[in-house]
Structure 1
Amino acid sequence: MTDLSQIREHMDVIGADGVHVGTVDHVEGDRIKLTKKDSGADVEGGQGAHAGHHHYISVGLVAGVEGDKVRLSATGANAAELFEEEA
C-alpha cells in the first residue's frame, strides 16, 4: 500500500495509461479529493455533468507516487468512471 503522506496538494493524478485524471486538492480519509478545475471536464470520456464540482478517487486505485505524480492502477477513462461525486 502507498504511503498516503507522500500525496501532496497540486500533484498530478495520472492513469496507468499516462492520461491526466486530475489534480490533488488533498487527501480526505481513504479518498483523494481532486480540484474542481480539471477533476472531470478534461478527462477523456468525461461529460459536462462532471464539470464544476469536486470529485474523489479511492486511494485503493493508487499504484504509487513518483515525484510530483500520483499514478493510478486504472486507465484515465476507467478512473473517470469510478469518480465519487461531491455530496
Structure 2
Amino acid sequence: MSSDIRNDIREHMEVIGADGVHVGTVDAVDGDRIKLTKKDSSAGYDQETHAGHHHYLSVGLVADIEGDQVRLSANGANAAELFIEEE
C-alpha cells in the first residue's frame, strides 16, 4: 500500500466498518475526505437525517484497503456517527 492511502481509494469501492458492516460506496476522494454515494446515505441509518445527500468520512479512519473494499478502523455504527454532512 502506498504511503498516501488516498491514491489507493477508487470510485465504487465498498466502504466497510471494522466489523464488516457495509457503511457506503466511494463516490470520490475529496482532499482528506471520502465522499460516499447518495444511494447509500440512508442504508441502515436514520432515514430522515441521512437520506438524499452525500456524506463524507475522514481518510484517517481507513485501516486498510482489501481488494475492492475500504476497511475502516471504526465499526459500522461508529463510522455512521462520524459522517460529515454535505455542505
- Aligned twin of 1:42: 43
Cα deviations by residue, 1:34-70 (Å, 9 ceiling, x for unpaired): 000003x113xx1021011000000010001010000
RMSD: 1.1
Q: Which sections of structure 1, spanning at least 5 residues, go unmatched? A: none
> 2-side partners of 1:77 and 1:50: how far apart?
13
TM-score (norm 1): 0.92
DSSP 3-state at the match of 1:77: helix
Percent of aligned positions that are identical: 73
State whether structure 2 residue 61 is matched by structure 1 residue 61. Answer: yes
- Aligned twin of 1:15: 17
- Aligned twin of 2:73: 73
Cα deviations by residue, 1:3-39 (Å, 9 ceiling, x for unpaired): 2111000000000000000000000000000000003
> 2-side partners of 1:35 and 1:73: how far apart?
20
Aligned residues between the structures = 84
Q: Which sections of structure 2, spanning at least 5 residues, go unmatched? A: none
